[in-house]
Structure 1
């Protein structure tokens, strides 16, 4: 028993001593070496926090530093959004009024042609009647219809509903364009009070150029002289130059010489297009004037001259002429308002 106990005690002592040595070695490997100077700090490399896209933009000059970044005034943004809401409402109003006036054109055209043709038929029936009460009734009915057609033609030719509809379509298109322009300024620019004033001036100028009411402020449909349409404020160019510091070259890669050459080309094209549009617009205006005078004049002559139709024997030739005049009046009215010559003039 003694011999067995002694070796076991020796093994346990050997194991404990070897375990102590391993723990000492492990502790030695974990401990960090002490620094000689307590005030000395480790020099770690500085990491780049700026992205490569931002770095490229800074090198290209598209982004300013933090100290030079301009922040938009919230009050300016609020005013521009209020103007955009007003413009959106104007677009909807011009669109609805344009559809209404287009319906006016179709309704008046159909009604006047129906009345004129019906009165012409009554004229022929009166010529075939023997006289007495049927002749008198047909004469009164036909004369009344021709007078009603004359009055309706006078009103229709004066207001030109097809041209009114085209004006409202133009106004809606220009207001939409202005809305997108302001939206772009708010989205990618730094708007100022000058942008607000410019937007308000454009809205007021468009309102004056394309009025919503009909009575009192309707645009003249038969102009004495043909001139190009100008609705935008005259100080627009001065505002643009002021925005870029009064310089022609705004560091966009275009030099002054190239800008002057392109301006000359633009002016040549503008003069050429302007001359052609004024020439064709003048012809459309003259045609529209002639048609507007002819149709009510024909119906008025038929209504006034119908008193000469007493019996078939005394007025057969007059009856034929009056029926032809009534049919021609319908044809002229259809040519004027069905083909919509006023829209052709408005486009030019």
Structure 2
């Protein structure tokens, strides 16, 4: 412990001296001042040691200090957690792999649609031709007519079975599902990269990204058996590929507390846009989706029925009692089946239905996102208002001024608004 001693006034000139006592470890100092300053008195100097002085300043309170005096390392958590970063990169790799999987499988199922359509139409038209030839050959009778008749019947039955399977799985719709999944996984991939680039991610970010991956896996499954989406649902609902909207973590962009970019005008603007999306955009795509589903159901049933009737007709070709109608049924039903099959799978009606359903889901997601921000009373837990408004405008294909004009016109209009919220699709 060091001790500071002050002596009285010594000598006629000011001077100072000091020495070190090895045995006691004490530094002793002497301070001399001029005699003419004898009328000045020095207050008593405190003789507490350095350690006591540090205790008075609370420097030894390790809980409050960001510096560990023993290890000289910082105890604050201002930097990113390496484990959280590692988990996000693991999710990033899984998402990138899923993008490739959905892309490859989407191409494969699109090839299914083309190959099955070509094969079934070839079988059907060949069977119709053989039915007609067997009818003309049946006049003379003999083995050739029977062989043609049997071959056409077998080909019709094969086409009926293949067409039933094709109409059940809807390859064009499957391909559209995989295209949507690849696009959404790419979007999620970019979101994770943004979180890492902005710095200081948390365990909540890891949990949120995991939930989004699992929600996408459930919405767009890869296997067919046991997991395939219903291709002819009783009700047409928007596609849902996101987890349940939960309360956000408080994290402002600038670290300042306040209204976080929100005000009463912006809240009212978002409410008006929600109304337009719900009444116009989402409702219109659900209406179109119901029409596409009804058409697809009709075509999916008509194709196998026509090829089945054609097979029945070809089996009775040459019969004395049913010869005339059997030929007509075997040839005409086969030709109509080719037309129906081409219209359904060549024009990809199933893909159109899935596109409408996915577009309705896009607007449902926007609606839920805006509502989740509006119902949150803690402004710091909302997404930044200015940033959120810009995102909404970009998703709808509008500028900020156009977005505000849409909200203003929908709020003042007494009759049904004619303008859709989205200008993209």
The two structures, once aligned, show a CA RMSD in angstroms of 2.3
Q: CA deviation at 1:67?
A: 11
Greater relative contact order (CA < 8 Å, ≥ 6 in sequence)? 1
Q: CA deviation at 1:274?
A: 1.1
Aligned to 1:169: 179
Aligned to 2:210: 200
Q: CA deviation at 1:212?
A: 1.0
- 4+ long deviations beyond 6 Å: 66-69
Aligned to 2:68: none
Mapping 1:1-348, distance limit 5 Å: 70-129=78-137, 130-234=140-244, 236-238=245-247, 240=248, 242-244=249-251, 251=258, 254-271=261-278, 272-310=280-318, 315-348=323-356
SS in 2 for 1:150: helix
Whole-angstrom distance in 2 between the partners of 1:329 and 1:289: 15
The TM-score normalised by the length of structure 1 is: 0.76
Whole-angstrom distance in 2 between the partners of 1:309 and 1:255: 78
Q: CA deviation at 1:252?
A: 7.0
Query: Is the contact made by 2:134 and 2:149 (CA closer than 8 Å) also made in structure 1?
Result: yes
SS in 1 for 2:222: coil
Q: How many residues align?
A: 279
Max radius of gyration: which structure?
1
Whole-angstrom distance in 2 between the partners of 1:318 and 1:303: 10
Query: Is the contact made by 1:128 and 1:312 (CA closer than 8 Å) also made in structure 2?
Result: no
Gapped regions of structure 1 (runs ≥ 5): 1-36, 38-65
Query: Is the contact made by 2:313 and 2:327 (CA closer than 8 Å) also made in structure 1?
Result: no
Whole-angstrom distance in 2 between the partners of 1:275 and 1:213: 31
Aligned to 1:6: none
Q: Which is richer in helix?
A: 1
Query: Is the contact made by 1:72 and 1:191 (CA closer than 8 Å) also made in structure 2?
Result: yes
The TM-score normalised by the length of structure 2 is: 0.62
SS in 2 for 1:148: helix
Q: CA deviation at 1:231?
A: 2.1
Q: CA deviation at 1:310?
A: 1.6
Whole-angstrom distance in 2 between the partners of 1:155 and 1:289: 14
